[in-house]
Amino acid sequence: MAIFLDTVYVGVREQLVQAGVELLERDGLAAMSQRQIADRAGVSHGAPRHHFQTYSNLLAAIAREGVTDLDALIAGALTDPDPRQALMDTCREVIAFAIARPAMFELIARHDLLDGAGGRLRSITGQWLVLLTARIQSARPDTDHRHGLALWAGVQGLGIMLGRRSAEAIASQPIDPDAVLIILIAGVLGEV
């Protein structure tokens, strides 16, 4: 009987996370609540509080789904032996993710909501900066973590702007993400 209860417990927890992912992707973070997640999962309204200590813990579990997906894309893109190409491929993957899944991308960036909520998200997302910095340093040894941070800030900002389509309001012509990425990468490599 205990095994069955553990299976049910894990099943409901996963249902809540998947329902949260679906709602987040469909409606965005601001339009989502624990009650809506429970309704979407087909469980009682008390289930989120039973399976997650706080709403932030539930959001962290939802964000972990996106972090895992984005982490796989970043890891794959960083494999090119040419550091410049690896950086470009990685930045393209991040931008594509941000455009395809804007609400998830923004949630991943909301450490103010997720900090201390569990899921060890910073242990994964923090590695992205380490990996980007290492690739920058392989092309330009005199760089440090600030160069990786500058590139990440530019890519994250561009991703949020393109995902929200807010760049359309300020740009006089269509945005070419590759053209912007070329400038960002050249900047951190000291070629501008």
Q: What is the residue-level pLDDT of the chain in tens, covering all 192 positions?
A: 334 444 445 488 899 999 999 999 999 998 899 999 999 988 988 888 888 888 888 998 999 999 999 999 999 999 999 999 999 999 999 999 999 999 999 999 887 777 666 667 778 888 999 999 999 999 999 999 999 999 999 999 999 999 988 777 676 778 899 999 999 999 999 886
CATH of the domain at 22: 1.10.10
Count of CB atoms within 10 A of residue 161's CB? 20
Residues 44 and 74 in one domain: no
Are the CB atoms for 177 and 92 separated by under 8 Å? yes
Count of domains observed in the chain? 2
Task: Say if pTM beats, i.e. exceeds, 0.85.
Answer: yes
User: What CATH number is attached to the domain comprising 68?
Assistant: 1.10.357.10
Are 95 and 178 in a shared domain? yes
Q: How far apart are CA 87 and CA 77, in angstroms?
A: 8
